[in-house]
Amino acid sequence: MTYRLHYAPDNASLIIRLALEELRLPYETVLIDRAAAGQRSAEYLHLNPNGLIPVLETPQGVLFETGAILLWLADTHGALAPAPDHSARGDFLKWLFFVSNTVHAEMRMIFYPAKYIGDDAAHQAALRAGLQKSLARHLQKLDTLASQGHAWFGAPAPSSLDLYVATLLRWLALYPKDCARSFSFDKTPHLYRLASQVERRASVQTASVAEGLGPTPFTRPRYATPPEGSAT
């Protein structure tokens, strides 16, 4: 079984690449040229009508939406998440969807405010200010969660939730380039530990080389210098 991951460097497809590497699954990559708006091409929209990255082609069909792909991979391969009949399944799912539907969604609004509120600079600044406060609260909740000793979050062996959160922390430290960022690991020490653990995984180092992320992509991130394509 070989998968095809439609990706752009240091985009949400990175989370899926990390999961594929962690599961040691064979996969091919198809570069989406963001600089040429490849995610809005007719060919790509045929795979994902929402025009968002990533897409994963599987023998069972085409998948999109990061959280959905992670959950499908975990259930298909029996790793990176509690099994459907496990007592921790419900807790894992509610936090996975919180990260996907709330944290990641609010980050997109901070990074691309014009898509949501138009081109007025004052309106964009107000939106970002409110969302940064909201995200600070979300991160405190996740930091508390990481301190509680769950096998599916913050443990030495990562879950798909760990991979997702570590990547989001990377982006919060780097973006948006055109305004001040309020994220700091000083306020979230348990998330720093999580990021450090994930960062040392062989899967992460392989993905970091493939996408030009550097040796410390989560704890001391730098802007991607990928061998192909563009992160923005």
pLDDT at 65: 98
Q: Is residue 179 part of a domain?
A: yes
Residue 98: give the domain boundaries: 90-200
Tokens of 69: 């792909």
pLDDT value at position 231? 84
Whether residue 82 lies inside any domain: the answer is: no
**Residue 178, domain member (yes or no):** yes
What's the average pLDDT block by block, 10 residues per block, for the chain (232 residues)?
A: 94 98 98 94 97 97 98 98 98 98 97 95 94 96 98 97 98 86 88 98 97 97 94 83
Residue 170 has what pLDDT? 97
Inter-helix orientation angle 202-211/13-22, to 10°: 140
- Answer yes or no: is 176 within a domain: yes
How far apart CA 49 and CA 27 sit, in angstroms, is: 23
- Which domain CATH number covers 178? 1.20.1050
Q: Is residue 220 part of a domain?
A: no
Tokens of 198: 């994930």
> How far are the Cα atoms of 7, 71, 93, 207 from residue 159, in angstroms, in the given order?
21, 10, 12, 16
Instruction: Please report whether residue 25 resides in a domain.
Output: no
Our count of domains for the chain comes to: 1
- Residue 151 falls inside a structural domain: yes
Provide the strand spans (E) within the chain. 3-7, 27-31, 55-58, 61-64
Any domain includes 119? yes
Angle at which helix 189-199 crosses helix 121-146, to 10 degrees, equals: 80
